[in-house]
Amino acid sequence: MDFCLSDGGRKAAGYKTTKPYSGDCVVRSISIVTQIPYKQVFTELSELGLEMGGYPNWNPVWQKYLKTKGYFKNRCPRDHQGKLIKLKNWEWYGSAVVLNSRHLTAVVEGVVYDSWDCRYRPVNSYWTNGLYVQED
């Protein structure tokens, strides 16, 4: 799987980025995969967080947000020995918001889009739009 350095539209939305990793993985990955502008995702997640009593990056908040956008949670892909597959070895060519070791990243057509290269991490669960994908 290839890697593409991306801020997900953070800078274009007028937010300052001072480091390669800016701590906004939830907003960034969701914005990239859903193709919803960064500022809109940030605003909607913040509003949902206020309703739910949590920050935008709290798992129940962003997971509910993805569900309202038509995304479904999929189980961890595993190799033939039952071990988790690392992002760099995952053969996925759709679009997915991927949870890997307490970090969200975006995968679109076989490319990881993120502000840092996290491909050494395993794919835990992942969210896809409109179709539940069951890994074998």
Domain boundaries, the chain: 2-129
The string of pLDDT tens digits covering residues 90-104 is: 998 899 999 998 899
Please, are residues 42 and 13 in contact by the beta-carbon 8 Å criterion? yes
Q: Does pTM top 0.75 for this prediction?
A: yes
Q: Count Cβ neighbours within 10 Å for each residue of 6-36 and write b for 16 or more, e otherwise.
A: bbbbbeebeeeeeeeebebbbbbbbbbbbeb
Token pair for 7: 């801020």
The string of pLDDT tens digits covering residues 7-50 is: 999 999 998 876 666 789 999 999 999 999 999 999 999 999 99
